[in-house]
Chains A and B, each alone.
Chain A
Amino acid sequence: MSDVAERVKKIVVEHLGVEPEKVVDGANFIEDLGADSLDTVELVMAFEEEFGVEIPDDAAETIVTVGDAVKFLSKSA
């Protein structure tokens, strides 16, 4: 697992309080991990902080799974 994926998963586990084994690439934040819409905004804020990047709103809307986040952050971080 890449370093980015590691860090993304750590944030998701901490923030959503879910079992680490559930945080797989295909896991949808809302449908699979029980996030609400505000959680997804907070996750994006947490990613921005951890990776020191700015995620524009239109990009944030495309980040719906753990894999989406890893992919986006691998490109921009």
Chain B
Amino acid sequence: MFDLTGKKALVTGATGGLGGAIARTLHAQGASVALSGTRIESLEALAAELGERVVITPCNLADKESVEALVPAAEEKLGGLDILVNNAGVTRDNLFLRLKDEDWDSVIAINLTAAFRLSRAAVKSMMRRRYGRIISIGSVVGTSGNPGQGNYAASKAGLIGMSKALAAEVASRNITVNVVSPGFIESPMTQALNDKQREGILSDVPMGRLGAGVDVAAAVAYLASGEAAYVTGQTLHVNGGMTMI
């Protein structure tokens, strides 16, 4: 089950906590993986750890030209692209009244617009090959909202709508488009929370713990696999029961 041997995957934000776990899991299932991110040393370290079937494709998702070049670069280095994981994301949290235009624009640009451009580029060759898996990493706050994250929540909700529209367009070409929506996962992003915030969060999670990167990565591996062929336009929530929708 969930064998990805011979499949070619591109993971953005691969040097982050979640992206690293996703890249490792897809690789462990047999996929060849292109690791993308801005920190080249971290990309190289992860590539060295994984050994074979791995290439690095650095990219600054805030830069349009850099984004446009990423999918062609990954396709060239891997010899095609079967799986795109839009994982990279940033936060610029602030109360809505204090949210600056720059904070809004940069979060939308990296979390949503880059995912749009990468998906548009990837779907072109996936259509030709009549096979593809596009998986975007959303967030529970895209569905539930969260104070202080108007920009982030909007970007993650945007991914869901975008994925549904694209899923409907390309389903006949054997391409599935889905969102994996994590709750609170152990990562540099959640490590920035103080103890009180952590306690508050955990009281809302029936599972009583933060999620691990592998919890999310396993959901990605499932949606990337042949077994998930009939699943498209969906949001798979991985949140320890925090929000049940």
Interface size class of A (residues with CB under 8 A): under 10
B124 touching A38, Cβ below 8 Å: no
Residues of A within 8 A of B169 (CB): 38
In the bound complex, residues from chain A placing their C-beta under 8 Å from that of B172 are 36, 38
Chain B: CB-nearest residue to A46: B128
CB within 8 Å of A: which of B131-181?
169-170, 172-173
Report the Cα distance A45→B126, complex, angstroms.
12
Contact count A vs B, C-beta below 8 Å:
11
When chains A and B are docked, how far (Å) is the Cα of A38 from the Cα of B124? Answer: 11
**Nearest opposing residue in chain A for B124, CB measure:** A45
Contact A38 B128 (CB under 8 A): no
**Residues in B neighbouring A36, C-beta threshold 8 A:** 172
Task: Decide if B128 touches A45 in the complex (CB within 8 Å).
Answer: yes
Once the chains are docked, how many angstroms separate the CA of A38 from the CA of B127?
A: 10
Complex CA–CA separation, A42 to B175 (angstroms): 14
Q: How far is the CA of A45 from the CA of B128 in the complex (A)?
A: 9
Contact with B along A29-48 (1 / 0, CB 8 A): 00000001010001001000
- Shortest CB-to-CB span from A41 to chain B, Å, is 8
Please report the C-alpha to C-alpha distance between residue A42 and residue B127 in the assembled complex, in whole angstroms: 8
